[in-house]
Structure 1
Amino acid sequence: MFCIRLTRQFKLSRVRQLHSTVNVKNENKVVSETSKTAETSQSTVNKEKVDFVTGTRPPMHAVSSMDKRILVWVKRFPSIDQVPDYVSYQCIQHAHTKARIRVCFIMFFLGIVICVAAVVAGKREAASGKSIATERVKWYMEIKKKAEEEKKNAENVQ
């Protein structure tokens, strides 16, 4: 699926290059009466070649259920039921780009909210007297007490 999409995009870029080279070749020429008739015949031939390569309608993309949800989320279509089975590549690419940007903004926002929550929680614990150092000291004291109790139990048993 991904390979097919890449090959289609490569074909589209080659068609774009063909369009750009046709326009550049015609822009650099000096126009005269005799060249106008030659240009019109060449431009019709070039247009026929381009139409043969690209076709009259743009290449279409088969829409999956996830693509339908993305198209509705970016408001290209009002509902999932109204999304057609085939959409142009430009439409789906613009929708994916907008969705990617929205997801990035959501992730930025969530990251900021989580950082603020961590700062607030840290300040609360610092105000209550908890810190990593005090927790570590308490843990070591518990371990020492358990070790002493085990020694006493071992001595009493013998």
Structure 2
Amino acid sequence: MGSWRGLRLAAGNCFQLYERNASSAIRFTRNSELKGFNGFCTKPQESPKATTNMYSHRVPLHKPTDWEKKILIWSGRFKKADEIPETISFEMLDAAKNKVRVKVSYLMIALTVAGCIAMVIEGKKAVKRNESLTRLNLEKKARLREEAAAIKDKAE
């Protein structure tokens, strides 16, 4: 192999083969008591104490606010505010927020398409009335010139 990296890989492979054949007690001891990090062994860090509002599988809980309760209802997760538990998981809240976010984006898409269709209809009605932006701008400029001329005549 010649290099340290190759030697290290070979040693790692040999150790993995040994570990597969080792008893479960040895494997448990190696994985739980000592952590290998770049060839050094360190003591395990103590895990923080579990808080009182946690599930058995250590998912932290969150007390939802009134706004978050509305989001949970709008997403269809719960039918009424009374059905919402005192504490919920962050995953449940994130899933509800994502569902509401998607519903709002679909609503905005529908409103944009409806607005475009309304503008096309109004534009066609304006063409039938012989109105155009060019004509309206020319009329406005002519009216402003007349007003400026009237003010100038009064000043003289």
On whether the aligned pair clears a TM of 0.5, the verdict is yes
What residue number does 1:56 align with?
Answer: 56
- CA change 1:133–1:35 in 2 (3 A) is same
Structure 1 residue 38 corresponds to structure 2 residue 38: no
Q: Deviating runs (4+, > 4 A) in structure 1?
A: 40-46, 49-55, 151-155
CA distance in 2, matches of 1:97, 1:115: 27
Structure 1, unmatched stretches of 5+, are 1-27
- Please name the residue that 1:90 is paired with: 91
Q: CA separation in 2, counterparts of 1:73 and 1:35? A: 53
Q: What secondary structure does 1:37 align onto? A: helix
Aligned residues: 125
Matched, 1:139 2:148: no
Correspondence for 2:113: 112
CA separation of 1:150 and 1:93: change in aligned 2, threshold 3 A: closer
- In the aligned structure 1, how far is the partner of 2:63 from the partner of 2:24? 43
TM-score (norm. length: structure 2): 0.65
AA in 2 matched with 1:59: P
For normalisation by structure 1, the TM-score amounts to: 0.64
Encode CA deviations 1:53-111: one digit per residue, 9 max, x unaligned: 78724210120111101101111111012212310111111111111111111111111
1:140 Cα deviation from its structure 2 partner: 2.2
RMSD between superposed Cα atoms in Å: 3.1
Larger Rg over CA atoms: 2
Q: Which residue of 2 aligns with 1:121?
A: 122
* Higher relative contact order, chain-length normalized (CA < 8 Å, sep 6+): 1
2:9 corresponds in structure 1 to: none
Stretches of structure 2 lacking an aligned partner (at least 5 in a row):
1-15, 35-45
1: CA distance between counterparts of 2:112 and 2:146? 42
Identity %: 22
- Contact 2:62-2:90 within 8 A present in 1 as well: yes
SS at 1:125's partner residue? helix
